[in-house]
Structure 1
Amino acid sequence: MLLSPAEKQYLYDSLSQSQIIRPDSRSNQQHRPLEATTSFLPGSNGSARIRLSDGSECIISIKSKVITYDQNTTPNLIDFDIDIIGYRDDSNYITNLKFQLLNLLQQNFPVDLLKLTSRYAFKLFIDCVIISHTSYPLGLISLGTYLALKTLKLPLLISNNDDTEVAELPTFSDDWDNARTLQEILDSQNSSDKFFQPPIFIIIGVVGNNLIFDPSVEEEQVLENGLIVSFYDGKVITPINNTNFAINSNNSNFKGLNKNLLIKSIALCNKFCPSIIKALDTLIEQEDDAERSVF
């Protein structure tokens, strides 16, 4: 929904004052209500469906394939594809989203968990379908990918994992109940003190001296800047990007980023992102198969 000049000015004034008033009454660091369900696609190794209160919705499906790789190079074991209605697959908008997500995962994913032998490994093909969206969808896709990766299951290898001398094709258990999550694979490698947590993106809007988490489509039209912050392993990591989220309107307020606000955004993410991760993990741990909500 595009705002009139008067509505934009009113909203900008509400968001830039010391005690901000957001249209949906959220606090600065509060996400929109979110509903999600996991492991609902029987043909996928991992899946998640996630919806926001404004009707934005996406489905993530992850499938695995056994490939060969060169021991002397770092294998590319993750592929990402995004489909958004109304956008060409080769458009700049889609290409930019894919690049950011793929770069985040490839740089911060424990690929050793996907290696089967010295010659073979699993490759993950992550497919995202955006059914509907109003605001910038990167955060929605990132949280959905987190849920899908956390519930991903890979078949159990029953053949010898040492094929340095004798070439042997990997053989897997036919019983899907023996399939293991990436956390279970990590535990089997005598790393019980470590936890598998995929990286996520946090979307932050800048208005004056205020930072607001997960801006809505109305708020995006009056932001002075937008931050995309990466969070992994309990802390903010690189890359941290800034962009204009209001792609469907001319945001005349857009301006440069104050470095002090960048430092503030890192501190806020280090403080509040663990709560977001905890909420997502709690959703996964729930035993019932009904649709569940977080935040």
Structure 2
Amino acid sequence: MAPALASSTSQISHFSPAELSYLHTSLAHPHHPIRPDGRAATQFRPLTAEADILPNTNGSARIGFADGTQAIVGVKAEVERTVKVGILGGRGLEGEEEDGGEEGDEDGDGGRRRGGGGGGAGGESSWVEMSIEVPGLRDDDALPVFLAEMMREALVGSGSGGGQDDGGMLGGLKGRLVINQGWHWRIYIDILLLSPPLSYPLPLLSLTTHLALLSTKLPRLVSKDEEDPMFNDDWAAAEYLYPRTETLSKAGMPPRQTFRPPVTLLVISVGDNIIFDPSREEIAVADAVFCVSIGRDEKTSKDEQDAGESSNLKLLAIRAVDPPSRLTNSGLSNSENATNIGISAGEEAGSQQLTTGNVTQGVWKPRQGGVKRGVISRIVKMILQKGGVGEEVMAGLEGVEVG
């Protein structure tokens, strides 16, 4: 389980036990949740998005939610010499004879291929660096450190490093950074939250990072095989880090991107209801909070998706976050309140109190216990199914004009 929400204290400090009880009862409605802002259970907050907004970057994006929170992401890349770490901890340049550099080109496709070459299984996780700045928090505070590592883990872990057969399945980033056996790209992803978070900022940061990576371009490589990398100076000839495919686009539509970076969604459960993109109020009374990372599986979906049989999404990771509702205090029962104002506790209890077992109705009780496996299964199904939430999010971001 991931650490508790770092901003949980600020999220719940302004709610009384009566407000918490009302919110939980509304969101746990047996037929459909009644959300404070009137959204449906799977509906995301309205947002505005734009890409390529920062100069002197390889890619950038900005997304703003309707509540006023905004995030900007900039992506920069630099060429770096590949260093191989031996079994005994020795370090050497990739491609040297004693490190078996001659064996790495047996595939015969040269060093230009994406997802192959040096770095072991197509690349190293250390080639991707991510930092998050949140107003009012230090860089080494729990919230920005955890969010950065969780999103970076999904980026470098998807696709198992890629390969010449799958071309970086699931949008794996590591394999796309390989230039040849001796050189690679190092990617720096800098995320800035422009205002103090009004709710858990994970969805905003993840969607903005996704859009920034879609707009990221790298200079076109003109050198061949294992030569030192040389690039085309014409930026108009640069290649997208996540390439587009003309053949998959419909007439009159922009080219469709074959591979896409993963997206991490925030989901909560309240009673039997599952709610996506929760607000501050909803997180405050959640029974369970989950961070779900998904990516595209183009290799297995090319035929099945055209036939309408299944979605092309795959689950990459799911993490449980300790909900802030566990830190709330219980509301006083009516009998105890009556005693404090000089009214007989017995009379008040007999005339107004409704009890079921040891639980007093209408009084807020902190959430206890875990979550049922069936709830997790339902969340995964709602995200990955054909026409589900995951496809809706991916399609929405695909509609943003990039480049």
Query: What per-residue deviation string (whole Å, max 9, x for no partner) do you get for residues 247-275 of structure 1?
Result: 9x748335411111000000111122101
Partner of 1:178: 237
Q: Secondary structure at 1:12's aligned position in 2?
A: helix
TM-score (norm 1): 0.87
Query: What per-residue deviation string (whole Å, max 9, x for no partner) do you get for residues 54-107 of structure 1?
Result: 112111000001012133534232111111111111122222112211111110
Deviation at 1:238, TM superposition (A): 3.4
When residues 205 and 259 of structure 1 are mapped into structure 2, their CA distance, relative to the original with a 3 A threshold, is same
| More strand per residue | 1
Task: Please give the root-mean-square deviation of Cα atoms over the aligned residues, in Å.
Answer: 2.3
Paired residue type of 1:276: V
When residues 67 and 184 of structure 1 are mapped into structure 2, their CA distance, relative to the original with a 3 A threshold, is same
Paired residue type of 2:262: P
1:238 aligns with 2:287: no
**Equivalences for residues 1-295 of structure 1 within 5 A:** 2-18=14-30, 19-69=32-82, 70=84, 71=118, 73=120, 74-76=123-125, 77-108=127-158, 109-132=172-195, 133-160=197-224, 162-163=225-226, 168-184=227-243, 195-233=258-296, 234-244=312-322, 246=324, 250=328, 252-253=366-367, 255-270=369-384, 271-284=388-401
User: 1:48·1:60 contact (CA, 8 Å) conserved in 2?
Assistant: yes
Q: Number of residues paired by the alignment?
A: 277
Runs of at least 5 residues in structure 1 that lack an aligned partner in the other structure: 288-295
Query: What per-residue deviation string (whole Å, max 9, x for no partner) do you get for residues 138-193 of structure 1?
Result: 11111111100111111111222x11xxxx43111111111111243889xxxx99
Q: Using the alignment, how far apart are the partners of 1:230 and 1:72 within structure 2?
A: 25
User: 2:243·2:257 contact (CA, 8 Å) conserved in 1?
Assistant: no
Moved over 4 A (4+): none
When residues 241 and 184 of structure 1 are mapped into structure 2, their CA distance, relative to the original with a 3 A threshold, is closer
Query: What per-residue deviation string (whole Å, max 9, x for no partner) do you get for residues 96-134 of structure 1?
Result: 112211111110124232221221111110000111221
When residues 38 and 193 of structure 1 are mapped into structure 2, their CA distance, relative to the original with a 3 A threshold, is closer
Partner of 2:6: none
Q: Using the alignment, how far apart are the partners of 1:94 and 1:267 within structure 2?
A: 29
User: 2:269·2:288 contact (CA, 8 Å) conserved in 1?
Assistant: yes
Paired residue type of 2:370: G
Q: Using the alignment, how far apart are the partners of 1:193 and 1:279 within structure 2?
A: 13
Q: Using the alignment, how far apart are the partners of 2:323 and 2:371 within structure 1?
A: 14
Q: Using the alignment, how far apart are the partners of 1:131 and 1:155 within structure 2?
A: 30
Which stretch has the larger CA shift, 90-99 or 143-152? 90-99
Paired residue type of 1:258: K
User: 2:78·2:185 contact (CA, 8 Å) conserved in 1?
Assistant: yes
| Identity score, percent | 32
